[in-house]
Every structure is written in structure tokens, then in C-alpha cells.
Copies of this chain bind each other. A is one copy, B any other.
């Protein structure tokens, strides 16, 4: 019973009840992502959370509601992580390629590799068709907020003369696509990608992106 969510949990600085609630949410996120909605049994979640089944029903109601709460929770965390990284976007870089590559590395490491984002993507892919509202929620947070945020930063770089963009929104999607492509393949294995490879991916993506969009003197 290796607990792959340990990284996310916060120590017991919360009211005791909230602590168990977090344990349940983390366990549920694991199991839902691994097994899908139908395949995830409440017993399995209870077992992984180290909690009795009844406690889950007490705190979170039925399976449907548990699922919704889990997704909402993870969406928040994932979004927060992303925007924390986005704040480090280089606004007036001296060495554009170097600083953008470093930003890409951070983005890959903290926002795309992190369990929250992975769970979310998988859950949306798996259960999106069956939970249309959830799909909408995710859409609002994911493509709806992240891409425009990236696009704004890129547009700013373009305005400052670093890039030549005619469609910042498109450039943002392409930037993210280049960044995530290799990871997508690796990730489905569940394999934890070594840092060196992540650096390489960030460098590859950034290099190609700049070959396409960097201003030429």
C-alpha cells in the first residue's frame, strides 16, 4: 500500500475531521484515476484511506457526490499549482531561450507531471462523457483559463519584441502541445520520468517553439 499521495497531504494542522476527509479525498483520487468511476469501489477507497467505509458515507455522502467533490478538489489544487508556476514566466529575459527553457522545466515538473494534473486529465478523459457538468468545470479551468493565461504572457513577449506572433492563443496551444508530447507517452505507463529527461523535453520544446516564433534580427 504505497501511498502516492503523500506529497499532497498536509500535516495534521487541520481539525481532526478534516484530516480524515483529506485522506479520503486523496485515496479516492488514486482509486478513481486507476480504476475509473465504475471500477472504483468504496471499500477499496476506504482501505487505501485507512478509514472505515461508513466514515466516507458520513462525510461525503454517496459515490456520485464523492466523485464530484474529488474532482472539484483536484481541479482547485491543479489550477493553483499552474498559476504559481505561471508567475515565474520571464517577462523581460536577457537570454530568452535559457529563461524560457527554465520556465518550461518548471511547468513540466510542477504542473504537468504532478499527480493532480495527471489524475484530472485521466478522470476527465475517462468519465467526461458520463459527467457532463464535470467536463464543463474542467474545461473552464483547463483550456478555459490556462491557455489564455499562457497566451497573454506570450503576447506580452511579442509586444516586447522577443517573439513574432500573429495568433497568441494558437501559439499558446502549440507551446503546450510541444511541451507535453513526450510526457504524454511516458506518463501513461505510470513511470516516474527522471529529471534529466524532463529537462531534455523542456529544452526540445522550447527550442522548436523559438525556431518558429522568435524574432529574427
Q: Which A residues lie at the B interface, using CB under 8 A?
A: 34-39, 122, 124-126, 128-130, 135, 143, 170, 173-174, 176-178, 180-182, 185, 188-190, 204-205, 208-209, 211-213
Closest B residue, CB atoms, query A176: B181
Closest B residue, CB atoms, query A166: B207
* Residue numbers in B under 8 Å from A211 (CB-CB): 211-213
* Residue numbers in B under 8 Å from A188 (CB-CB): 124-125, 128, 135
14 A-B pairs whose Cβ atoms sit less than 8 Å apart in the complex? A34-B130, A35-B38, A35-B130, A36-B38, A36-B126, A38-B39, A122-B126, A135-B189, A143-B185, A170-B204, A173-B182, A174-B178, A174-B181, A178-B178
* Residue numbers in B under 8 Å from A177 (CB-CB): 177-178, 180-181
Known: A177-B180, A182-B173. A37 touches B34 (CB 8 A): no
- Enumerate the 9 nearest inter-chain pairs by beta-carbon distance, A residue then B residue, closest first: A38-B39, A177-B181, A211-B212, A212-B212, A36-B36, A38-B38, A177-B177, A208-B212, A126-B126
Closest B residue, CB atoms, query A181: B177
* Residue numbers in B under 8 Å from A125 (CB-CB): 122, 125-126, 188
Copies of this chain per assembly: 2
Known: A36-B38, A38-B38, A211-B211. A181 touches B173 (CB 8 A): yes
Question: From residue A189, how far is it (CB to closest CB) to chain B in Å?
Answer: 7
Question: From residue A214, how far is it (CB to closest CB) to chain B in Å?
Answer: 10
Question: From residue A198, how far is it (CB to closest CB) to chain B in Å?
Answer: 15
Question: From residue A129, how far is it (CB to closest CB) to chain B in Å?
Answer: 6
Question: From residue A175, how far is it (CB to closest CB) to chain B in Å?
Answer: 10
* Residue numbers in B under 8 Å from A126 (CB-CB): 36, 122, 125-126
Question: From residue A185, how far is it (CB to closest CB) to chain B in Å?
Answer: 6
A129 with B39: CB separation less than 8 A? no
Question: From residue A68, how far is it (CB to closest CB) to chain B in Å?
Answer: 17
Question: From residue A181, how far is it (CB to closest CB) to chain B in Å?
Answer: 3
Complex CA distance for A181 and B209, rounded to whole angstroms: 14
Complex CA distance for A214 and B80, rounded to whole angstroms: 38
